[in-house]
Structure 1
């Protein structure tokens, strides 16, 4: 009986320490994982920047909070750069009027901003 109790206690502490180790990912690993997900979504590596800042400064930072690390004391901030084409020149996609293919309701087409 004592042997089973001792093994149970040992298993509990081993699983608790493993869970703590798994949760405490390094900030570099978290940042690299987030960067890979962004790249997999079609954003070029030169099209964004990820930075680590302390949690207290996260609300004032420019960009979007996309993750945290060091048990919540650091935040990963995402900033997307201007669109860059293959020639390296910036494009201003936001200023272009989107084209909607709706032949039944042409009056609902977006109008250019003047």
Structure 2
């Protein structure tokens, strides 16, 4: 499913806007005087997508992912977060021969 949380959508839109601005000399020329140089992002990976086309094996970091999510208590109230991640990861990875995976939509720029 597509991301529908308004905060997440807003951050996504701002991120893509920042990517567009970061590659141009003309957007914030005053920053160039401070030694900042343009940067061209070459790839974007969207998560929580209904159109995955790239999978990453997370089997060795699944516990770290659960620990990181637990740090965001206001966002993640699940007591079974590790089990939930594993269950989703098993489904995501099955077709691609990963024990536990995370799915993304990869977009090359």
Both structures adopt the same fold (TM-score exceeding 0.5) = no
| TM score, norm. by length of structure 2 | 0.23
Higher strand share: 1
Larger of the two Rg values belongs to structure? 1
**RCO comparison, higher one (Cα < 8 Å, 6+):** 2
| TM score, norm. by length of structure 1 | 0.22
